[in-house]
A and B are shown apart, each in its own frame.
Chain A
Amino acid sequence: MAKSGDKKRGPIATALGRVPRWVYLTAALVLAVLFPLLHSAGLMDMLWIRVAIRSLTFVLLALGLNVVMGETGLLNLGYVAFFAIGAYTTALLSSPSLGFHWSFWPLLVLSMVFAMLAGLLVGLPTLRLRGDYLAIVTLAFGEIVRTVFLNVTSITNGAAGIPAIYTPNIFGWVVTEPPQFYYLILFFVVVVVIALTNVKNSRVGRAWNALREDEIAAIHSGIDATRAKILAMVISAGVAGLAGCLFAYYQSFINPTYFLFMQSVIVVCMVVLGGMGSIPGAVIGAIVLDSLPDVIRATFSDWLPRVFGPTFMASWPAWLQSFFTDFEKYRLLLFGIVVVLVVIFRPEGLLPDTLWRSETHEEDPREQEYTRQTLFDIDEGNQDLEA
């Protein structure tokens, strides 16, 4: 009878919740499209467009990881491997290094296909394993992929990387300037958001969520767990492959240091912060965490001194000054602390898939006397069946 989900919303949240969703989405889309015009109007440095492109790349990665981690509840710690495979495929087939010059669309598809094959390769043997093992095996796989790219120098050029990736030519439109890349990647972000939202609200998405909630019950509802998990893994890998392809074109140079384990962890942080299973959450989490260092640096080294005068920080202790101006050094530390805090105090994330909320908080105490004993299993969430 008591709706434990409703109890936690404050007045602001309720007011915001009344605005229909499409208003938010349209507003966001309009803002996103108009964003580069700020630069053309001379109001904004090109830097911010670059930041936006990088953030949108992470948005794609977060959306992809959300499918396997947020929707299905599987922890993939080697996610960056799929990103790397997409990027290297594009780089190798569209640069002087191997003498290929594939055109954009076939290469994009191929990058995704290779990433998806890798997802299949990792998923098939490992998805029968318990969730904890899966985390470590995917981590190991990520490392293996990076090591391969680093060491097979005859093809991948090892640590030196692959330079001079050609500019993409899409139906005659040659993409060279950052604003153009921005629109290119924005297009794909919108497509992926729509596609994943459609899947989330369908039989397929429900099957994934069911596996996350209670695998045994899901299996007994007719869901082939292994197939569904592999599908989630493959789809998430495909999105990473897409991101990798676009990334390679934009950077026009890639090397193994772009694909360290830390990148996998950062994407995990983004999905956790944004809200697992929440597509808008993944978008916001990625944008916030990725652009944070630049925003902080700009705020404290640039904007605030302009407003308050160049010496406004002079009275602050040195370490505090360096924290803001040198934020890059502290970025990862902050990520780590944020993840721990979010997971303990607000595990549903910033923009919860509103349903995720109730699991991770305590239940309404009135219900507890009925349910504590018999619902013990539900508190534990996704449990694995080891057959």
Chain B
Amino acid sequence: MLKLQVKAAIWRALRPMIAALVGLLLGVAITAIAGESPWHVLCVIAKGAFGSTYDLGLTLYYTTPIVLTGLAVALPIKAGLFNIGAEGQLNMGALAVAAVGILCPQVTAPLNIILAVLAGACAGAFWGSIAGWLKAYRGSHEVITTIMLNFIAAGLSGWAVLSLLPSLDSQNPESARIAPSYVLEHFAWFPDAPVTWALPMAVLCAVLVWIFLRFTIPGFKLAAAGLNPEAAQVSGISVRHQQWLALTLGGALAGLVGVAEVMGHSGRFRIGFSPDYGFIGIPVALLARSHPLGLLLSALLFGALQKGTAELDLETTFVTRDLAAMIQAMVVLSVSAEGGLTLWRRRRPAAKSPVQGG
């Protein structure tokens, strides 16, 4: 019996991986249309991602925000919600981090770091909580509201950066520099690559989310609201409150991307800094079946993809880094199709849960 269960669990974890592999290969195969050899493309991506300690450092640099946005998608999935608003949440988070770094230069370490991290998390949480409130208490579909909030966040942060925190030393669309005491030091192991304490922070977040869902009562309530809303409601859990909470916590996690970007890399808010980190979180969460620790691996895969495809601009004639978006899309499609297959063969799922759980 136990053996069977273990076998089923392994199979359950393997299936999305096989599906993701199919999606990845489909995505790379598309390059044949552009007259490139898919094998060459694959080699360029792999070499670009892991070819040297510098490349590996950049891969880890890309992985950091992707872990956070992956968690920002995965946690609401546990409550039955699909958060595609991480992009807006991370913009608000980065704005708050930059604002603290610019406006409070006199705060000393380590208080300043704590302040900036809290600001990023709170701003993201606030942005997520709007969608959460709308979903829970007004019944507005979270997919539409979070997309709209992404556009609103882009507009608001752009305005705030250019009019309230303008850069004095450059003409680029970016904010002023944050105070030097806020800048995180780069790890020496990866020469020239911006790998900082933001990476361990992201990993810590994944562990904390795992503990939260696995071992705490609030985490149990949240997952219960996602697995079977009717049963949860009957046993005294306010499903609405859990929905609100899930999107708020998801927003907080996405908001921490601001720490990695502003304090760990650029030292300022650069408008449009995110290459759609918020959307990359979606395949990352799906591939890991929203498991916070498994998600670390899938984030590394997509971080490598992000770094590796950046090399395509130089190494091939017609294929650009935009290929990453297509590969991500193919992975989402094949993993979701696979999820549908497994889900329906066994049983009809809980009627109202909009996103496949687990």
Asked if chains A and B come from one complex, the reply is no
Q: A-contacting residues of B (Cβ < 8 Å)?
A: none
Q: B-contacting residues of A (Cβ < 8 Å)?
A: none
